């Protein structure tokens, strides 16, 4: 299935005191529905690219499945205004999901639905404290630099997020882009899982801020290091600390800040910690 990921528009631009029309590329954003066993589960606004990776990554990071082998088929169906990703699960997993849906069904205002949603939002994060990965100062700088150089959609539009998987000595295994930062990371997780690369072998690097969901998804992948060009939230720092994850943020050229578990980084001045 081929869908345009960007289109050309001609906004009226005011530059240097002159009004003119300048062609500009803008990213496409469409509703992407995830359906399991024929029943709709969620709808995300996303860039219509790398959708099989998206399906695998979303299914695992959202706890719908525990392993890629639990998916027996993925079909992309064009809808009038978006795309429906039909995911077929193996029998036992599909039945477990159906039972879970039935147990969650209840009258509006039952009181439990909101609590369940809160518990899901702050769910226990995967433990990555045993991940043995060593990164140098140059690795951090190189990972972000490579990611910046590997985003064709961002170069054209300046309006999408990127996520990459950096392996020391090898570079970037994969890069995925999307209008949504969570979507970009889900697509990346799917790509790494489909490549059968252990999440513990590298670091996740993203162009967005670090929220708790980004930490949760990286931990589910098995990555012990998460790198970002922007800042983390307090809950992201607490969650990474509890998970044993090294959180590196605010990477600007040669400079960056390490918020949790600096032992995985070999720097010139370890005494600073």
Name the residues annotated as catalytic: 110
CA distance 42 to 37: 13
- Outline where the chain has alpha helix (H): 51-61, 91-104, 112-121, 137-149, 152-157, 181-194, 212-221, 234-243
The values of phi and psi at residue 115, to 5°, are -65, -40
Helices 51-61 and 181-194, packing angle to 10 deg? 100
| CA atoms of 164 and 161, how far apart (whole Å) | 10
Distance CA 224, CA 134 (A): 10
Query: Is 179:29 a contact under the CB 8 Å cutoff?
Result: yes
Q: Residue 135 CB: number of other CB atoms within 10 A?
A: 22
> How is residue 39 written in tokens?
């029943």
The CA-atom distances, in angstroms, between 119 and each of 112, 125, 185, 201, 236 are 10, 12, 22, 30, 16
Residue 180 Ramachandran class (φ > 0 left, ψ -120 to 50 alpha, else beta): beta
Say if residues 218 and 192 touch (Cβ distance below 8 Å): no
Residues in the chain: 273
């Amino acid at each position: 299935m081929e869908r345009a990921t960007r289109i050309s528009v001609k906004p009226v631009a005011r530059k240097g005191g002159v009004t003119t029309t300048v062609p500009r590329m803008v990213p496409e954003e469409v509703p992407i529905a995830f359906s399991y066993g024929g029943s709709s589960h969620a709808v995300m606004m996303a860039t219509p690219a790398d959708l099989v990776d998206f399906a695998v990554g979303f299914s695992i990071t959202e706890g719908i499945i525990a392993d890629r082998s639990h998916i027996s088929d993925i079909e992309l169906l064009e809808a009038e205004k978006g795309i429906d990703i039909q995911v077929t699960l193996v029998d036992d997993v599909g039945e477990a999901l159906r039972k879970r849906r039935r147990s969650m069904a209840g009258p509006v205002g039952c009181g439990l639905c909101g609590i369940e949603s809160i518990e899901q939002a702050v769910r226990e994060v995967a433990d990555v404290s045993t991940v043995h990965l060593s990164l140098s100062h140059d690795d951090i700088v190189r990972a972000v630099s490579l990611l910046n150089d590997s985003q064709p959609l961002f170069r054209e539009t300046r309006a999408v997020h990127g996520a990459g998987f950096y392996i020391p000595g090898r570079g970037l295994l994969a890069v995925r882009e999307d209008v949504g930062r969570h979507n970009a990371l889900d697509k990346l997780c799917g790509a790494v899982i489909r490549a059968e690369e252990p999440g513990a072998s590298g670091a996740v690097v993203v162009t967005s801020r670090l929220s708790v969901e980004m930490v949760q998804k990286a931990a589910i992948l098995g990555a012990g290091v998460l790198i970002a060009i922007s800042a983390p939230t307090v809950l992201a720092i607490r969650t990474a600390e509890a998970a044993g994850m090294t959180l590196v943020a605010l990477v600007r050229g040669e400079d960056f800040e390490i918020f949790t578990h600096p032992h995985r980084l070999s720097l010139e001045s370890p005494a600073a910690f």
